[in-house]
Structure 1
């Protein structure tokens, strides 16, 4: 869902209402799934759209068009124009905050040219569910026709307005997040005072912190954004409690963690030059920070930037396909899966998927499958009840000797030696 807290929607609605009245265009805010979620929907839909949407598949077609337009606008970070699945011209202005797509503003219900026989022929092909096509033709004739230049100007104007609104809200959001982080820290301190001594010792153990740190870095390397962000929050809370609020210690640990994250991001596929630039900017920022919450806040922003890099950035053309492939691998690594299985799941050829992985992640599909399996094996090695053979099978290796060879190549030591080092 679109988060009302991430933007001043009341102000945005006023802007869109005035825009709709000035241009006569139908405007709607939709989420990433193409769903108009009821917050705003200007002007009454034209007869053509109401007629299409009255058919069983009409709303589904409309939503699919909105979803595609939203994805493309977010991908290229600019207004995106195309014909909807019913045949009309629509455009989408992306709504994003910190590079995260929230949805888009959809403008539609117009034509850029006078309908001719070719248009009606295509209209018939696009709307086979319509029985009375003569009625649809009549409604199409009533649509407004505006020049491409005017259409482009309207899109550019709205894009600039939305972009400025998001920048303003970003500053507000950063202050809110810093305050929330401060509140969580204080709450953690109060909880710590109530704990028994034994529990306090457990929290203060740096071994626990380092264990969580390893898991966190593993998620960075795998590009697993949800788990990485969740583990980062636990790490920061643990660090604050352990350091007892000592700023010098916290700053040192935060700088150290940022460096480790940068290396893990590069290993996960992020561009090294970009990562180093982000790391340098981060170090400059925390040198001027005076409060612990600021250290943590900027580290969270840095991690988010690294994660976007390690998953090849949402603006890249084929991000969606590669991300779906990664998700499938993360869910099925324990099975005997190969590139053919992943490609079949996505309905594309193995050669095409292979090209996308090399282009987006600079590795092969099999390389990524192996990376996931080794990372999972490292975690399972910590369970003393599992033998090396059991770990091998659990992460998808059918041959224990091959598992030992692969594990040694990635970790630097044989599985059994690594297991014994944990004792």
Structure 2
């Protein structure tokens, strides 16, 4: 928070909505106060009772009320729990602290009740603690209207209020975190566009270029390459912003489409289909109400990161490291005559253990994953006119062109030659 105070932290509308309901349910008076004990808001329709209004109608009484609130607020912060106190006029009030990141902002004051019917001792103390110029007969009449709450009821109300205030604090923390994330996304978008201007990189001229980059991005997702996927996604979104000139309706359509394609790629990469579809549905629902472009981009970054995490959802960090290292080794050496044993030797584990990890964590064999990497790389190389099908086959590690054609057709649905001819 740029300013550490309760006014900037709590959403006034939501504060009123939640605590007004609490006031109606309990019949108790509630105020939001700052660290100095100054009242910021009286919540709900429950105004101060006639007794307190009469006390505060005198300047000395007002000052004593302020001092009581300040003392109670500081004590509540000290113990980080509801603090019961008797105000200068003899009423029972409790304060619930508002603390964010160990910074004390203020409190919610509740109560203004008696725990039992006023007796002679209460009246004597009341007369002693108030200025002589106060009309004591009028004050006695106001005492008759004071609500009485048993100690058990008061404690229960304080506990309930503590839960409600904690909910408000956590909700606003999450809101602030989201706002900070959107702000960073906005700065990143601005930085990307400025870098393009400095490097004289113009926006792409048609969606053909965008779709080629999109296919590369999806291949990184299928391979579980989080770093390259996220880097490519950033470029894709900057391209999209440039091409659409910030037109929100078009950006929204493309973002929804990209999330849908990414979900399928993640499932093909080994993520759980049911979980991915649930995340996609949640994403689609969130996007419906979004207005800011940076929020679109932040949300799609987030859901795609979740898709990628789903490909490697390992509870055992040691296994996570081994599988990731094996995947990286394959990505760097796919063009060589790579074997399960060579990869296992590199990782200093047995071939059988590595094979078991691939089946357990990626739901495929070592050879299946190696083949998937090679086919994805083949698709990239085929886009270069200077490479023939035979050259592509050799470049990705296939000794036999016919076997390469068979494997390529199995994964892509057409032969390498047909696929390459369709590109030019």
TM-score, normalising length from structure 1?
0.56
Q: Of 175, 179, 182, which residue of structure 1 is paired with 2:179?
A: 175
Do the aligned partners of residues 190 and 354 (structure 1) sit closer, same or farther apart at CA in structure 2, a change above 3 Å counting?
A: closer
Match of 1:349 in 2: 350
* Structure 2 CA distance for aligned equivalents of residues 193 and 340 of structure 1: 49
Per the TM alignment, residue 190 of structure 1 is displaced from its structure 2 partner at its CA by 6.4
Matched, 1:241 2:245: no
Contact 1:269 1:312 (C-alpha < 8 Å) held by counterparts: no
Are the structure 2 counterparts of residues 313 and 241 from structure 1 closer, same or farther at C-alpha, using a change threshold of 3 Å? farther
Deviations 1:102-136 (A, max 9, x none): xxxxxxxxxxxxxxxxxxxxxxxxxxxxxxxxxxx
CA distance in 2, matches of 1:226, 1:190: 23
Contact 2:193 2:238 (8 Å CA) reproduced: no
Partner of 2:251: 250
1:283 partnered with 2:284 = yes
Which position in structure 2 is the counterpart of 1:129?
Answer: none
Distance 1:317 1:249, change over 3 A: same
Partner of 1:185: 189
Distance 1:167 1:395 in 2: 51
1:411 aligns to 2:415 (yes or no): no
Instruction: Look up the match of 1:308.
Output: 309
State the alpha-carbon separation in 1 of the partners of residues 262 and 357 from structure 2.
25
Q: CA deviation at 1:316?
A: 6.4
Match of residue 318 from structure 1: 319
Change in Cα spacing, 1:172 to 1:387, as seen in structure 2 (3 Å) is: same
Alignment of 1:186-265 (within 5 A): 186=190, 200=202, 203-265=204-266
Please list every run of 5 or more consecutive structure 2 residues that lacks an aligned counterpart in the other structure: 1-168
> In the TM superposition, what is the alpha-carbon distance from 1:339 to its structure 2 partner?
1.0
| Count of paired positions | 256
The equivalent residue for 2:39 is none
Structure-2 separation of matches of 1:307 and 1:353: 21
Which range moves more in the overlay, 241-250 or 370-379? 241-250
SS at match of 2:414: coil
Residue 310 of structure 1 deviates from its aligned partner by 1.4
For the 8 Å contact 1:308–1:314, the answer to whether it is kept is: no
Contact 1:220 1:264 in 2 (8 A): yes
Question: Superposition pairs for residues 77-156 of structure 1, below 5 Å?
Answer: none
Which residue of structure 1 aligns with residue 388 of structure 2?
387
Counterpart CA distance in 2 for 1:395 and 1:194 is 36
Deviation of 1:191 after TM superposition, in Å, equals 7.4
| 2:269 is the counterpart of 1:268 | yes
Larger radius of gyration: 2
Residue 361 of structure 2 corresponds to residue 360 of structure 1? yes
Q: What is the CA-CA distance between 1:204 and the residue it aligns to? A: 3.7
How far has the Cα of 1:285 moved from its partner?
1.1
The 1-side partners of 2:170 and 2:317 are apart by 22
What's the secondary structure of 1:203's corresponding residue?
Answer: coil
Displacement, 1:176? 2.8
- 1:56-105 alpha-carbon deviations (Å, 9 max, x no partner): xxxxxxxxxxxxxxxxxxxxxxxxxxxxxxxxxxxxxxxxxxxxxxxxxx
* Cα distance, 1:313–1:167 mapped onto 2, change above 3 Å: farther
Taking a change above 3 Å as real, the CA distance of residues 190 and 316 of structure 1, as seen in their structure-2 partners, is: closer
Distance 2:365 2:317 in 1: 18
The answer to whether the Cα contact below 8 Å between 2:393 and 2:401 also exists between their aligned partners in 1 is yes
CA distance in 2, matches of 1:348, 1:411: 33
In structure 2, the CA distance between the partners of 1:364 and 1:193, relative to structure 1 (3 Å rule), is closer
SS class of match (2:204): helix
Q: Deviations along 1:201-242, whole A, 9 cap, x unmatched? A: x52411111011001000000000110000000011111111
Task: Kindly indicate whether residue 331 of structure 2 is the aligned counterpart of residue 327 of structure 1.
Answer: no
8 Å Cα contact 1:312/1:361 also seen in 2? no
State the 1:181 CA deviation. Answer: 2.0
Compared with structure 1, are the counterparts of its residues 399 and 350 closer, same or farther at alpha carbon in structure 2 (3 Å cutoff)? same
Does the aligned pair in 2 maintain the 1:377–1:391 contact within 8 Å?
yes
Change (3 A) 1:170 1:330: farther
Instruction: Summarize deviations over 1:247-289 as a string: whole Å, max 9, x none.
Output: 1111111001000000000000100011011111111111121
Q: CA shift at 1:168, angstroms?
A: 9.1
C-alpha change, 1:317 and 1:296, in structure 2 (3 Å) is same
Q: CA deviation at 1:362?
A: 0.5
CA distance in 1, matches of 2:381, 2:172: 46
Q: Distance in 2 between matches of 1:285 and 1:337?
A: 44
- Does the aligned pair in 2 maintain the 1:223–1:310 contact within 8 Å? yes
Measured in 2, the distance between the counterparts of 1:406 and 1:316 equals: 33
| CA distance in structure 1 between the partners assigned to 2:225 and 2:281 by the alignment | 24
